[in-house]
Amino acid sequence: MRAYRLIAFVLVLGILVFFTATAQAPLIRLAIPTTERALTPYTYNTGYPGWYLLMLVYDALMVTDLDGVPRPWLAESVQVSSDGTVWTLTLRPNIRWHDGQPFTSADVKFSYELYQRVTHPRFSGPLRGVTVETPDARTVVLRLSAPSPIFDLTLADTPIVPKHIWEKASDPKTFENTVGTGPYRLTQIVPDQFYRLEANADYFAGKPAVQALILPIIKDATATFTALQAGQIDAATRTLTPELVAQFQARPDIKVLSGPGFVSTLLLFNNERAPFSDPRVRRIIAGVINYEELVRTVLLGFATVGSPGFIHPSSPWYNARLGGYQALKLEQANRALDELGYKDTNGDGVREFPDGKPLRFELLTRSGDPVRIRTAELIAQAVKPLGIVFDVRSLDADTVAQRVWPDFDACKGRNYDLAIWGWSAPVMTKADVRGLFHSDCKVGTINVVGYANKTLDGLLDRQAQTASREERKRLLDEIQKIVAEDLPFLTLFYPDLIFAVRPAAYDGWAFLKGEGIIHKLSFVKR
């Protein structure tokens, strides 16, 4: 700890010296937790903040606005054919790469074909089966093998690289040139210490609001926030934990920004094992958990209470007519369990299966995450009055993952009764319900509870291949209703994203719903 602090101090001191020497203002220092290597599409390390930093240097054809809906960006207009398979884009005129070369449709074709040719874990999959045609320098025609209502998210996700530079790269996976069209150019990398980004004054969407960004790498969370309090950094990509909010809010020089986050926290039931294979049992358990109290206690209120249909209320795909969980009084819940044949026959306070086995189950949670351990404890307390015992077992994250999602392959089955789990933001952004709920494990790649509902499968397939956003929304409403009824797992809450910044250095941060303040639109005119 002390070593980290020392490193952070030396680092920041160095930056200060650098800052005063070049006298470039305004400048902000934004701490990041790990290195992102050369910050090219093939070398950046992390989904967050790495991809968001990458997109300060590069642009995509579209950009998601603050509500999470894609709109044209490098493209001026985006037209979709009525069957949803042909996407015609007109590019903005007069856009130049950082080196002064003009940006054309050839760069788009080259980039998309590059991701198709050289596998990339994030960009390649969504572009499978897409052909690119370029009738002229400002027009791109994309033909999809099947309609996709969320292809616009792909267009907003995929960075475009300059053809004239990347065609000379012998191995794109290690190529380190960072010329892009983005609002910032990467001017300096000191490995394991900091990155320096300078504003692109000729940016097509207007001059970026901050002249220079320094990204010092501070690995330790405590050291990061100590540096922020000491004024050695102005912001951090790391989110603040709820227990620190009051202290940071009390300071006049620090501003706390918070908003909805798209990471979910779930209680998984193994749908293949009794008694959780029975939706009635799942509904009873769902009914005795107090979700508001959970959020208030474990996250001090800094979370949105889960929707039984999984989709976050702030997501454009949320079914607003869906209520919360159906609460049950203890007597009701106990009576329902009696009727299902789970009775406490030996009087020990724990119910038994008809064959005499007690209703006692392991609730897995990972050891590094105190919020989840506490959540598990509170859930175990909530079901105890029902005569059901949840034994909280905290194991290291890999062990939990291996038992819930062996080798990240839903086809390999599962070995648990109950687990506290969570999905990262992209599952919510794309509303990947097909992956979550489809009974065929090759399609339902993240259906880790082993849920199967044939009616739902049909809807899931249809929403994935429908041509329009509106039609998909309608199908998603229906899907959420069925999920809320069946409850293959319980969506407990979505923790808020909380950031602390020094407004004196920069105060133009924009909160992107579900994803936070570290993104392009925090720095360019919107």
Partner 1 sequence: MKSVLSIIGLTILGVLGGIAIFTPAPYDPHERVSAPFQPPSPQHWLGTNDIGQDIFSEVVHGTRTSLLVGMLAAFLAVLIGVIVGVIAGYSGGSVDTLCMRAVDVVLVVPFLPLMIVLAAYLGPSLLNVILVIAALTWARPARVIRSQVLTVKSLLYVEAAHAVGGSFWHLLRWHIIPAIVPLAMTQFVTVASGAILIESSLAFLGLGDPVQKSWGTVLYYAQARGAFLTGAWLWWVVPPGALITLSVLGFALVGYALEQRTNPRLQYN
Report the residue number, 45 or 415, with the smaller CB distance to partner 1. 415
Q: Which of 226, 232, 239, 258 binds partner 1 (CB under 8 A)?
A: 226
Q: Please state, as a whole number, how many other Cβ atoms lie within 10 Å of the Cβ of residue 462.
A: 15
Looking at beta carbons only, is 26 or 370 nearer to partner 1? 370
Residue bearing tokens 């994030």: 122
Per-residue binding string, partner 1, 285-324, x by CB under 8 A, is: ------------xx-x------------------------
Q: Name which of residues 368 to 407 contact partner 1 (CB under 8 A).
A: 368, 370, 373-374, 377-378, 392-396, 399
SS (H, E, C) 95-137: CECCCCCECCHHHHHHHHHHHHHCCCCCCCHHHCCCEEEEEEC
Backbone dihedral angles phi then psi of residue 161, each to the nearest 5 degrees? -105, 155
Binding segment for partner 1 among 29-37, 238-246, 278-286, 485-493 (CB under 8 A)?
Answer: 238-246
CA distance 184 to 470: 35
Nearer to partner 1, 219 or 374 (CB): 374
Residues sharing a CB contact under 8 Å with residue 187, sequence separation 6 or more, in sequence order:
196, 197, 198
158 binds partner 1 (CB under 8 A): no
Segment 206 to 225, residues that bind partner 1, using CB under 8 A: 222, 225
Judged by beta carbon, residue 263 or residue 298, the one nearer partner 1 is 298
Q: Least separation, in Å, of the C-beta of 238 and partner 1?
A: 12
Structure tokens at 103: 């940006």
Nearest-Å Rg of the Cα atoms of the chain is 25
Contact between 367 and partner 1 per CB under 8 A = yes
User: Whole-number minimum distance, CB 225 to partner 1, in Å?
Assistant: 6
Assess whether the previous peptide bond of 26 is cis (omega < 30° from 0): yes
Residue 473 in contact with residue 69, Cβ under 8 Å? no
427 to 466: interface string for partner 1, x by CB under 8 A: ----------------------------------------
Kindly state the smallest distance separating residue 243's Cβ from partner 1, in Å. Answer: 5
Q: Which is nearer to partner 1, 393 or 513 (CB)?
A: 393
Q: Closest Cα to residue 500, out of 223, 215, 241, 218?
A: 241
Size of site (CB under 8 A) for partner 1: 24
Token code pair at residue 430:
């794309």
Compute the distance between CA of residue 392 and CA of residue 383 in angstroms, rounded to an integer.
12
3-state secondary structure of 377: helix
- 211 vs 247, beta carbon nearer partner 1: 247
Question: If we measure between CA atoms, which residue out of 194, 232, 198, 193 comes closest to residue 212?
Answer: 198
Residue whose C-alpha is closest to residue 104's, from 144, 134, 84:
134
Q: Does 415 bind partner 1 (CB under 8 A)?
A: no
Residues forming contacts to partner 1 in the complex (CB under 8 A) are 1, 222, 225-226, 241, 243-244, 247, 297-298, 300, 367-368, 370, 373-374, 377-378, 392-396, 399
